Amino acid sequence: MVALHLPAGTDPRPALRRAGDRPEEPMPQAELDRLMQRYDGDVPGASLLVLRDGEAVMRRGYGRSDLERSVETGPATAYRLASVSKQFTAAAVLLLAQGGKLAIDDPVRKWLPSLPREDEAITLRHLLTHTSGLIDYEDLMAEPYDGQIRDAGVLALLEQEHRLYFAPGSAYRYSNGAYALLSLIVERASGMAYPEFLRERIFRPLNMHDTLAYVEGGPAVPHRAWGYSEIDGRWQRTDQSSTSAVLGDGGIYSTIDDLARWDAALYDDRLLSDASRALAFGPQVEVTGEGYEAHYGFGWRITGETLWHSGETIGFRNVIVRWPKRHLTVVLLSNRNDPEPYRTALEIGALFQRGGSPP
């Protein structure tokens, strides 16, 4: 099998179609159809990508991206990534560190001096690894919240909060607020708006033209999937919540084709240096309280030989799972509140393991 590594500036779509036509082993189609059955038909759907040795051996959509207009999903459908976005926020910080614009162990108050003195010991590393001890901003929001909070609004809430869950660096607790603060630090260190920085430093260099940090009133999301939840036995559109406009922790939209380009860039130094990737993919801290064994890097969970991250927000459930030593990746993006896709992605990955060994 000839590897297709999708260098920057290359459009992979014709090659991806060819790669999917003639896999090296027989396609486990019946088992794939079984695993993806819930997404198929006149229901909110999903897009599935399986990359092996740089080639897309499975690349297709299931179900609908827009029930009201009966729009079918496909490889070009763009989904709100939710917390899968965190790996891009982490990469933005690492790019700035590579350029000497900031340091991973900078105190957060160097960049956000309006935070209270109780946050003085928090560093960017703590934010990246969910070890800051920051109070969850969702718990600080008024109920009901008027409109949508943005990253700057998260900072405004945390400016008034003098408690921490624990001393920075002493424990792990997943923190969306930490990544909202990181997006603001990217802006201050770069002098660019966060969506612009991502576009100019990550998305354009990798030819990810259908990926963006979505801001209402800004560029539209191409081929946008709308989020749905099953309520009282029927699918209802639930595309936005009061926290959906926060960018650093979950506001990026992307497609499986663009995530193929992203995956390819994670194998070499076209974007991040070897040292930066070692930080991002290294087991920085043990994950606790989440019901499974894992460590956390910078925007990535590490379980055994896998690097992965899920994303869950109102109307969307997503996951990317990578087996880098095997050059295998599964991406499953969906515009619905159920099912949770992580286990499905692991089962799909097992189908494409040579020799049938489980991932």
β-strand pairing of 301-303 with 295-296: antiparallel
* Residue 128 domain flag: yes
- What pLDDT is attached to residue 3? 30
CA–CA gap between residue 78 and residue 259 (Å, rounded) = 11
Tell me the Ramachandran region of residue 9: left when phi exceeds 0, alpha when psi lies from -120 to 50, beta otherwise.
Answer: left
For the chain, what's the residue count? 359
Can you give the residue range of the structural domain that contains 203?
13-356
Q: Residue 6 falls within a domain, yes or no?
A: no
Residues with Cβ within 8 Å of residue 139, at least 6 apart in sequence: none
Residues of the chain below pLDDT 50: 1-23, 355-359
- Write down the pLDDT at residue 258: 98
Cα→Cα distances 128→2, 19, 32, 61, 228, Å: 36, 36, 35, 33, 30
In a domain, 3, yes or no: no
99 domain residue, yes or no:
yes
Note the pLDDT of residue 25. 59
* Contact of 144 with 261, CB cutoff 8 Å: no
Residue 316 has a pLDDT of 98
Q: What is the CATH number of the domain that holds 57?
A: 3.40.710.10
346: exposed, middle or buried (C-beta count within 10 Å: 0-12, 13-18, 19+)?
middle
Structural domain includes residue 4: no
Does residue 327 belong to any structural domain of this protein?
yes
Structural domains of the chain, count: 1
How large is the angle between the packed helices 13-21 and 256-265, nearest 10 degrees?
90
